[in-house]
Amino acid sequence: MKTRDPWFAGLAGAALVAVAVSAPVAKPASKATPAATYTVTLKDMKFGPLPATLRAGDTIEWVNSDIFLHSASARDKAFDVELKPGAHLWTTFHRAGAYPFACRYHPGMTGTLVVAK
Amino acid sequence: MLKAIGFAAAITLAASAASAASAQAAKPTDAQIAHIAYTAGVLDVAAGKQALAKSQDKAVRDFAAEMVRDHTAVNDQALALVKKLGVTPQDNPTSQGLSRDAAAKLASDAKLSGKAFDKAYVDNEVAYHKTVNGALSTVLIPDAQNAELKSLLQTGLKLFTEHQAHAKHLAMSLK
């Protein structure tokens, strides 16, 4: 599922809610653990620190702080976020699982997000 | 390979050109460093464009597109920086040697096609990035005086290190 281009909207200061990794599940996130948003910054040709406690319903905000085009692309194609320099995009994870991902343009940039129920 | 070897020789030449006078005099100026780095980027963009025009291999084309896109991005930043700093990049023997060697490599690769071209292009990209990264690490970054120029070169080195790894992986897949 591909995220739409946020560049111009991002410049305008508009927030874009982007990708649903999978179809939303019927059960909402527990009230005891409200959905959270974590920021992952791409800088110096690396994905920054990934959240250790990601849960279904949580959102990743991808921020490209490099001067190069990057992407965050799941190996299983669950998400594919293209990030122009300076772009911010959001991916919400509805299902538990492990999501290995890489930058489509720089294969050496990799990571794995683990989503708990 | 010729381009990479030529670059290594040019960098060595630049670094030692004035060694008889003094070690300090051998160091390239920021204006020369900017010109060398910019030229190295321009030449790799040209090689990438040649690959995009000649190669039919998707992986090679993807890599070439990456080179064109990334080196153009770095050079755009470099141009903006020298404009901001009021520095005029200064042509120098190293840049001239790079351009001369690159022209020869483009001409020789132009005679190739198919897998022979792909292999020649990618092998040279491995060697070229290895040499450029070596020059950045040992000469250009240490000798850069302006902090912003040094930072941009360091950013470039991180990018080109990834390029080198990508090229090496691609070269292995072509064998």
pLDDT in tens, chain B (175 residues): 334 444 444 554 444 433 434 444 578 999 999 999 999 999 999 999 999 999 999 999 999 999 999 999 999 999 999 999 999 999 999 999 999 999 999 999 999 999 999 999 999 999 999 999 999 999 999 999 999 999 999 999 999 999 999 999 999 999 7
**B residues 106-135 near A, CB within 8 Å?**
none
Contacts of B71 in chain A (CB under 8 A): none
Alpha-carbon distance A59 to A19, whole Å? 9
Query: CB–CB of B77 and A67 under 8 A?
Result: yes
Per-residue pLDDT of A68-95, as tens digits, reads 999 999 999 999 999 999 999 999 999 9
Domain boundaries, chain B: 2-174
The structure tokens listed for B102 are 């690159």
Domain boundaries, chain A: 7-24+33-115
Burial class (CB in 10 A: 0-12, 13-18, 19+), B90: middle
Q: What are the strands of the beta sheet with A88-92, ordered from one edge? A: A19-20, A88-92, A59-64, A37-43, A46-47
Q: Can you give the pTM of this predicted structure?
A: 0.80
Interface test with A, best of B66, B68, B129, B154 (most A CBs within 10 A): B66
Q: Which residue(s) pair with A102 in the sheet? A: A73, A110
B79 in contact with chain A, both atoms CB, cutoff 8 A: no
Which are the contacts of B73, defined by CB distance < 8 A and separation ≥ 6?
A67, A68, A69, A85
Contacts of A105 in chain B (CB under 8 A): 66, 69-70
Of the candidates B64, B70, B55, B162, the residue with the CA atom closest to the CA atom of residue B117: B55
- Which residue of chain A is at minimal alpha-carbon distance from B154? A44
ipTM: 0.78
Torsion of CA B61, B64, B66, B69, to 10 degrees: -120
Q: Nearest CB to B159: which of A45, A85, A107?
A: A45
Q: Answer whether CATH 3.30.420.40 is correct for domain B2-174.
A: no
Query: CB–CB of A106 and B66 under 8 A?
Result: yes
Task: Looking at the complex, report in whole angstroms how far the Cα of residue A23 sits from the nearest Cα belonging to chain B.
Answer: 31
Name which CATH class applies to A7-24+33-115.
mainly beta
Residue A24: DSSP 8-state = P
Q: Nearest CB to A108: which of B73, B74, B166?
A: B166
Amino acid at B149: L
Task: Looking at the complex, report in whole angstroms how far the Cα of residue B132 sits from the nearest Cα belonging to chain A.
Answer: 18
